[in-house]
Chains A and B, each alone.
Chain A
Amino acid sequence: MHEASIVQEIIDITTEQAKQNNAHKVLEVEITVGAGAMIETDLLSGAFDIMKNETMLEDATLKINKVNLKLHCLNCGKISESDRMVSMECPYCHSFETIIESGREMLINKIIAE
């Protein structure tokens, strides 16, 4: 439910990067969102389309690459993957002694600008 804050950061960081590269218009922003980042990507896209108005990103599209949440079980050693936020239970041995290996991240990977 904090997608608007995330979009504002995307716009700010992208604008900064574009200006540093002497661009005046952003055409595309490519981001990665982990399944454990607690972000709803449909809401993120919706917020982006509203909030980009009157910025350098006005005509930009937001490309979202979703990555799975990877849980590493310290009990059985197996790694499980999920495309959504899950409880921390290992699906193989049902232990809760797990660590999140990846899938919490939210990154701006690439900007196409002119």
Chain B
Amino acid sequence: MDIKDINIPILSKNIKEGETNKNIFESKGLLTINLISSPGSGKTTLLENIAPILNEQGFPCLVIEGDIATTRDAERINKKEIKCVQINTHGICHLESKMIRKAFEQLDMVNEKILFIENVGNLVCPAEFYLGEHEKIAILSVTEGEDKPEKYPLLFKESSCVLLTKVDLLPFLDLTEDIFISEIRKLNKKAPIFLMSKKDKSSYMEFIEWLIQKHLSIFGGER
């Protein structure tokens, strides 16, 4: 027999699971952020630095760490007294919605307002899998080079915000902020681009404000 014209999206189950995740996150008042970048661009460092500030500002965080192997990232985050659970994908290059739900169930949520999902370091595959997040954020460190957005266009085109990290290293490279910004702007005219460095904690503040405003716009309330 022929079962014709079914035209089922192959990733439809993951999308459906992602929608279930989103409903759970929204019922709990959690703004959910999917962080995507190459390995070593500074995703964990970003979280180590911004989570304590968000906590002080009344927006405590939860973190789901995705890596192929080890619990090193979760250990770093736990040291900052932030609730975190590690997913080890054992070779899989991305996170999927079901993995997120299982991991989320292990988190002892009390009054947290933001859930960060640190995806597996990879600019290709994670962009293809919706996890139930409100915002997909691309991170690019200046040492990776200004050509990366154009080489991996989908992620940069579809992200709602781009973080340019390690900008303190720019003086050691033959590159300027402007080159990175214009390369990102080729693909994405609208997304805010935040420049940051762990050497200057104040460089995180604009991004933190953006997150807080996102939370307030979805869930209401005042600071």
Interface of A is mostly: mixed
What residues on A are CB-neighbors of B186 within 8 Å? 88-89, 96
Can you name the residue of chain A whose Cβ is closest to the Cβ of B94? A2
What residues on B are CB-neighbors of A112 within 8 Å? 1-3
CB <8 Å contact, B10 and A106: yes
- The residue that A6 contacts in the complex, of B2, B10, B124, with Cβ under 8 A, is B10
CB <8 Å contact, A111 and B6: yes
Task: Give the distance in Å from the alpha carbon of A109 to the alpha carbon of B150 in the complex.
Answer: 32
Can you name the residue of chain B whose Cβ is closest to the Cβ of A33? B10
Task: Give the distance in Å from the alpha carbon of A8 to the alpha carbon of B122 in the complex.
Answer: 21
CB <8 Å contact, A2 and B92: yes
Binding site for A on B (CB under 8 A): 1-14, 92-94, 96, 122, 124-125, 127-129, 150-151, 153-154, 157, 186-187, 189
Given contacts A111-B2, A114-B1, 5 further A-B contacts (CB under 8 A): A4-B92, A31-B10, A106-B10, A107-B10, A109-B7
- In the complex, 29 of the A-B residue pairs with CB atoms within 8 angstroms, ordered by the A residue number, are A1-B125, A2-B93, A2-B125, A2-B129, A5-B94, A6-B11, A10-B10, A13-B13, A17-B3, A17-B6, A23-B3, A36-B154, A38-B124, A38-B128, A88-B150, A88-B153, A88-B186, A89-B186, A97-B189, A106-B9, A106-B11, A108-B6, A110-B2, A110-B3, A110-B4, A111-B6, A112-B1, A112-B3, A113-B3
Binding site for B on A (CB under 8 A): 1-2, 4-6, 9-10, 12-13, 17-18, 21, 23, 31, 36-38, 85, 87-89, 96-97, 105-114
